[in-house]
Chain A
Amino acid sequence: MGWRTDDELQQMLRDSAIAFLGDAGGPGHFRAVRASETGFDADTWRRMAELGWTGMLLPEKLGGAELGLSAALPLAEELGRALAPEPFVASAIMAGTLLARGAGPVAAALATGLAQGHQSVTLAWQERRGGVGIPAFGTRLAAGRLQGAKVHVPAWHPGSALLVAAQGDDGPVVVAVDPSASGVTLVVARATDGTLTADVVFDDVRVTADAVIVEGDAARVALEHAIARGTVALSAQLEGLAKALWHETLAYMQQRVQFGGALSEFQALRHRMVDLYSQIELAAASWRKAAHCVEEGKLWGPAVPAAKARCSQAAQEMGRWAIQYHGAFGYTDEADVGLYVHCALRWSSWLGGASAHRRAALMAHRGGKGA
């Protein structure tokens, strides 16, 4: 049964993800990372690199697997199911997309480091909260000096490398910046998925010419792709999370007996569970459609924002009813439900929340930009 199908490669990657995440993912792993100071576990990240995940989108000559987005998505879905805090979306997908399009020795070194799992790379592009799509950058690179500020830089880690999107003299530019360089100020905050996010200020930070990863029109296109791909992959993670939580909730309902019957026998609850499942099915279909559009280069139709909207909404709704159907136990930290709910809070708001994306989808439809 089931309309969702993987091709051979996707199936292989999914199987390896399920096998690996069986002990390297899940609520236990999530709790351990949450209790640590680092935002994610570097050792798990390295092991993901050994499986080829971190360099999935990078060219072979830099140690990557040179695969497309579609190969990465079953992984994203499984990582979502396993509540993985590792920066797959932020680093392997978003930074990876930029590095794959970058040139020069710095880009190559970062790409190799990412593919080998020696470090994570994260992209600082957002400058204000909320909003969907790429804004005009207020952060400026002029005469080798970077000035400006970024917010919500995801997947921060003491060893992370930083890519910064800025406005250069001839259009957008993405540069590598050493986070410990003089003039860089970081304010790190904890996100609900256990990861760290950073607001970063650049005050007259020196940037050498070889730190330019990509510039001009190529930078704009690379950023568009990075964000669109990241949005779709994050959508797949959210859907995976929602699906896992649905099953977790059903399992609880089947063993919890009240009024002489299992909770799973009550019609009102069964109907809601069907509706939640329907939303998850819609979410799964929606991100698959978005992935198809992105791979065909159609980034600006309604498909990508519709996917992020549906997947965010499905995960949050699932969280709400999962707590409800677990009763008071669902309100405790001891129950795993809360982990899913916290993870969903972060993932559904990051890269734009449901209502902003719904509006973006409608506008794309009205603009007739296709798909």
Chain B
Amino acid sequence: MMTQDLNLLSNDAFRARWRDWLEQNYPAEWRIPIIRRLAGDEERRWHRMTYEAGWRAPAWPKQYGGLGLSLEKQLILNEEMERHRCARVLDSGGVLLAPVLMKYGTDAQRSRYLPAILRGEDLWCQGYSEPNAGSDLASLRTSAVRDGEAFLVNGQKIWTTLAGCADRIFVLVRTNKEVKKQAGISFLLADMDTPGLTVRPILNLADEDELCEIFFENVRIPAENLVGALDQGWTVAKALLGDERISNGAPTLPRQAFEVLEQLIETRGLAEDAGVTDRAASLFCDVHDLAALHSQVADAAIRGEVDNAVLGMMKVLATEAFQNISEEILNVIDEDAGLQTPTIGAESPLDLRKIYMIARPSTIYAGASEVQRNIVSNALMGKS
């Protein structure tokens, strides 16, 4: 365990220490950027490793066992992970739920759940979307009715990422049908092994079964698992949106995808092709300028000036750039784009089709691009 306060280190010393640690401890088999995402036991192992070495929960305040790092240092952690070609990690518990519990949870909830998230014992999943409540999330219908010391929950969630290997779930449920739709929602916590709760995986276009459907049939959730006040779940859920939105607009995935494109152009001898060069130049500038914008917006956020409109724009720019680059990756490989598993070359494990497919949903989750544009336009042009 590290005893020294990491915030006291200079940025350079901090960066060097984290880089050393990654070099010595990061499992080699995880170092496949874009494609690899840690799930289940791997994710638990990652949280445990970082916890034991004193690197876990950089954004959490120290009183909850986090590192309480400045945003600047948090961004350094991310930069070094990109540099080291680390796998992606979702950490729904640490990133999405924990801030909610800190703001709205009871002491009992915090002491019960936060330490287990820190140690990598509990993985959480996010149960918001429903078959008929996607972008219009507030129209959700999964119902919770008070029944003695519990809520009786019935309904269905869908698109719940990694529900199959999660230990617990945070769900939005309807507790009041008589009021405006946003005003009748509550935020509940549940164990995945609660009787009546079943999970069915859904195969996606990247051949993964991380997305799941969850069915609730008379699931009894203890009343003490309500977070925040009854019917206040919409407000509670909104607390999720903090600094982490800056990472939705990070240039990491587009930059990594662009590197793959450049390797392809090189190995396939396309560097002199005028058309390929023009398109690569345009994509390069997209990544370059997004990185410039992201770092200047992050600098402003570090000073405490958060610009909500630009955060939404950056999410759209980053995900659309990722898609455009992944499309060009398949474009430059000609007929190989029709192969089940096209790669850069025989010795490269990177599945190019998978990169393309992983880029597809990024413009849908965490607020579809069109919905982001609605939100940003409201900020820039007044509500319509």
Using CB atoms and an 8 Å cutoff, list the residues of chain A in contact with chain B.
Answer: 1-5, 250, 254, 264-267, 270-271, 273-275, 277-278, 281-283, 285-286, 288-289, 302-303, 306, 309-310, 355, 358-359, 361-362, 365-366
Chain A residues whose CB sits within 8 angstroms of the CB of B296 once the complex forms? 3-4, 285, 288-289
A29 to B282 alpha-carbon distance, docked (Å): 36
**Distance to closest chain A CB from B57 (angstroms):** 27
> Are A358 and B281 in contact, CB atoms less than 8 angstroms apart?
yes
Chain B residues whose CB sits within 8 angstroms of the CB of A267 once the complex forms? 374, 384
Which among B285, B303, B373 is the interface contact of A270 at CB below 8 angstroms? B373
> Are B300 and A5 in contact, CB atoms less than 8 angstroms apart?
yes
Q: On chain B, which size bracket covers the interface?
A: 35 or more
**Distance to closest chain A CB from B298 (angstroms):** 9
When C-beta atoms are compared, the residue in chain A nearest to B305 turns out to be: A3
Nearest 3 Cβ contacts at the A-B interface: A285-B293, A3-B300, A270-B377
A303 to B281 alpha-carbon distance, docked (Å): 13
A309 to B284 alpha-carbon distance, docked (Å): 11
Contact A264/B316 with A5-B305, A362-B277 known, Cβ cut-off 8 Å: no
> Are B297 and A274 in contact, CB atoms less than 8 angstroms apart?
no
Chain A residues whose CB sits within 8 angstroms of the CB of B382 once the complex forms? 254, 264
A274 to B315 alpha-carbon distance, docked (Å): 13
Beta-carbon contacts under 8 Å, B355-384 to A:
370, 373-374, 376-377, 380-382, 384
Chain A residues whose CB sits within 8 angstroms of the CB of B317 once the complex forms? 278, 282
User: Could you write out 22 A-B pairs with CB less than 8 Å apart?
Assistant: A2-B305, A3-B296, A3-B299, A4-B296, A264-B382, A264-B384, A270-B381, A271-B373, A273-B381, A278-B317, A282-B293, A289-B296, A303-B288, A303-B292, A306-B288, A309-B285, A355-B281, A358-B278, A359-B278, A361-B284, A361-B285, A362-B281
Tell me if A's interface is mostly helix, strand, loop or mixed.
Answer: helix
Chain B residues whose CB sits within 8 angstroms of the CB of A286 once the complex forms? 288-289, 292-293
- Residue-wise, chain B 270-307 has the 8 Å CB interface mask toward A (1 for contact) of 00000001101110110011101101110111010101
B152 within 8 Å of A (CB atoms): no
Chain B residues whose CB sits within 8 angstroms of the CB of A309 once the complex forms? 285
When C-beta atoms are compared, the residue in chain B nearest to A363 turns out to be: B281
**Distance to closest chain A CB from B85 (angstroms):** 19
> Are A361 and B310 in contact, CB atoms less than 8 angstroms apart?
no
When C-beta atoms are compared, the residue in chain A nearest to B309 turns out to be: A1
Chain A residues whose CB sits within 8 angstroms of the CB of B289 once the complex forms? 282-283, 285-286, 306, 310
Using CB atoms and an 8 Å cutoff, list the residues of chain B in contact with chain A.
Answer: 262, 277-278, 280-282, 284-285, 288-290, 292-293, 295-297, 299-301, 303, 305, 307-310, 313, 316-317, 370, 373-374, 376-377, 380-382, 384
Chain A residues whose CB sits within 8 angstroms of the CB of B377 once the complex forms? 270-271, 273-274
**Distance to closest chain B CB from A53 (angstroms):** 25
When C-beta atoms are compared, the residue in chain B nearest to A2 turns out to be: B307
Chain B residues whose CB sits within 8 angstroms of the CB of A358 once the complex forms? 278, 281-282, 284-285
Which among A273, A285, A355 is the interface contact of B380 at CB below 8 angstroms? A273
> Are A3 and B310 in contact, CB atoms less than 8 angstroms apart?
yes
Max count, chain B CB within 10 A of own CB: residue among A3, A275, A303:
A3
> Are A3 and B297 in contact, CB atoms less than 8 angstroms apart?
yes
Chain A residues whose CB sits within 8 angstroms of the CB of B384 once the complex forms? 264-267, 270
> Are A264 and B310 in contact, CB atoms less than 8 angstroms apart?
no
When C-beta atoms are compared, the residue in chain A nearest to B379 turns out to be: A1
A302 to B283 alpha-carbon distance, docked (Å): 13
Contact A1/B307 with A264-B384, A282-B293 known, Cβ cut-off 8 Å: yes
Chain A residues whose CB sits within 8 angstroms of the CB of B373 once the complex forms? 270-271, 274-275
> Are B307 and A361 in contact, CB atoms less than 8 angstroms apart?
no
Chain B residues whose CB sits within 8 angstroms of the CB of A288 once the complex forms? 292, 296
**Distance to closest chain A CB from B245 (angstroms):** 13
Chain B residues whose CB sits within 8 angstroms of the CB of A264 once the complex forms? 381-382, 384
Chain A residues whose CB sits within 8 angstroms of the CB of B295 once the complex forms? 289
A303 to B293 alpha-carbon distance, docked (Å): 12
A1 to B304 alpha-carbon distance, docked (Å): 10
Chain B residues whose CB sits within 8 angstroms of the CB of A250 once the complex forms? 380-381
A281 to B307 alpha-carbon distance, docked (Å): 12
**Distance to closest chain A CB from B269 (angstroms):** 14
> Are A362 and B313 in contact, CB atoms less than 8 angstroms apart?
no
Chain A residues whose CB sits within 8 angstroms of the CB of B297 once the complex forms? 3, 285
Chain A residues whose CB sits within 8 angstroms of the CB of B277 once the complex forms? 359, 362
Chain A residues whose CB sits within 8 angstroms of the CB of B288 once the complex forms? 286, 302-303, 306, 361, 365
Task: Name 12 extra pairs, CB < 8 A, besides A3-B310, A254-B382, A274-B376.
Answer: A3-B297, A254-B381, A270-B374, A270-B381, A271-B373, A271-B374, A274-B316, A285-B292, A285-B296, A358-B284, A361-B288, A362-B277
> Are A282 and B370 in contact, CB atoms less than 8 angstroms apart?
no
**Distance to closest chain B CB from A60 (angstroms):** 31
Chain B residues whose CB sits within 8 angstroms of the CB of A361 once the complex forms? 281, 284-285, 288
**Distance to closest chain A CB from B344 (angstroms):** 17
When C-beta atoms are compared, the residue in chain B nearest to A5 turns out to be: B300
A285 to B303 alpha-carbon distance, docked (Å): 17
> Are A362 and B280 in contact, CB atoms less than 8 angstroms apart?
yes
Contact A355/B278 with A3-B296, A264-B384, A306-B288 known, Cβ cut-off 8 Å: yes
When C-beta atoms are compared, the residue in chain B nearest to A360 turns out to be: B281
> Are A282 and B284 in contact, CB atoms less than 8 angstroms apart?
no
A266 to B373 alpha-carbon distance, docked (Å): 12
A285 to B377 alpha-carbon distance, docked (Å): 20
Chain B residues whose CB sits within 8 angstroms of the CB of A265 once the complex forms? 384
A51 to B305 alpha-carbon distance, docked (Å): 31
Max count, chain A CB within 10 A of own CB: residue among B278, B313, B316:
B313
Chain A residues whose CB sits within 8 angstroms of the CB of B292 once the complex forms? 282, 285-286, 288-289, 303, 306
A355 to B285 alpha-carbon distance, docked (Å): 10
**Distance to closest chain A CB from B240 (angstroms):** 21
> Are B284 and A1 in contact, CB atoms less than 8 angstroms apart?
no
Chain B residues whose CB sits within 8 angstroms of the CB of A281 once the complex forms? 293, 310, 313
When C-beta atoms are compared, the residue in chain B nearest to A283 turns out to be: B289
Chain B residues whose CB sits within 8 angstroms of the CB of A254 once the complex forms? 381-382
A40 to B82 alpha-carbon distance, docked (Å): 51
**Distance to closest chain B CB from A96 (angstroms):** 26
> Are B305 and A310 in contact, CB atoms less than 8 angstroms apart?
no
**Distance to closest chain B CB from A366 (angstroms):** 8
> Are B284 and A302 in contact, CB atoms less than 8 angstroms apart?
yes
A309 to B278 alpha-carbon distance, docked (Å): 12
Chain A residues whose CB sits within 8 angstroms of the CB of B278 once the complex forms? 355, 358-359
A366 to B263 alpha-carbon distance, docked (Å): 11
